[in-house]
Amino acid sequence: MCELLGMSANVPTDICFSFAGLMRRGGEIGPHRDGWGVAFYEGKGLRCFHDANPCHSSAIARLIEQYPIKSENVICHIRQANVGGVSLANTHPFTRELWSQYWAFAHNGQLTDFTPSTGPYTAVGDTDSERVFCHLLNTLASRYTAPPALEALTHTLSDCCTPLLKLGVCNLMLSNGDWLFTLCTSKLHWITRRAPFGPAQLSDLELEVDFKQHTTANDVVTVIATEPLTSNEHWQAYEPGEWMLWHKGEIVHRGVLPTGQ
């Protein structure tokens, strides 16, 4: 199954440290060798990198590992193909435009007998993940002509995701560059780093960083990942069915969907 990595921060922050740990799971110490991708928001712009090759041996991934692109919202994905072949069109994150905003989406899991809603958004590749993304956007576009208030948005997203839970595993990340929406049905963890900052040691690589040397007292940075990436920090686990909306590193809305349906 695929692995997800996301970041929400109150200041532009690079994800080089976390990406270095995830990169090794992309075909070197993990089975996720069927492509990878990452999306960085920079203001209203969206900088995306994709590769259908294994992340751990990708020249593009090595660039991302060493190039400190700073962003407040990031979505990253390493793929172990279940539905859809290994191709660039099937690599996450997927992107579309809605309400003059770039939206990015990544998914971990597999859904059985999923039928997306119809509308202007259709899949380019042949993954159920991209169809879920289009399903969410078609639902939002049919209900609102402009961005709704966050409370209404999260209500619509959670209502739209509820029927998916009975179809299989559906861990996902969705962002428009201002916020990051996350949903867990099986496995997802998060950690919020704030002052006083300290050192962190990657679990899958002999690499340590002292965040105190790279941050200010006002910085808030949350990292969300399928599996914890560090060995000396306390990561919190999502509950099955739990969703959270992150803004500038903080939880602004959260809830738990009924998983027994």
Interatomic CA distance for residues 193 and 61, integer angstroms: 25
How confident is the model over 189-218, as pLDDT tens digits? 999 999 999 999 998 888 889 998 889 999
pLDDT of residue 261: 44
State the chain's mean pLDDT as an integer: 92
How confident is the model over 7-39, as pLDDT tens digits? 999 999 999 999 998 888 876 767 777 899 999
CATH architecture of the domain formed by 3-256 = 4-Layer Sandwich (3.60)
Average pLDDT over residues 28-52: 90
DSSP label of 239: P
pTM score, two decimals? 0.95
Q: Is 2 a catalytic residue?
A: yes
Catalytic residue among 2, 161, 170, 184: 2
DSSP label of 94: E
- Cis peptide bond N-terminal to 93, omega within 30: yes
Interatomic CA distance for residues 37 and 244, integer angstroms: 22
pLDDT of residue 91: 95
Domain boundaries, the chain: 3-256
Query: How is residue 178 written in tokens?
Result: 């201002």
How confident is the model over 164-187, as pLDDT tens digits? 999 999 999 999 999 999 999 999
pLDDT of residue 260: 55
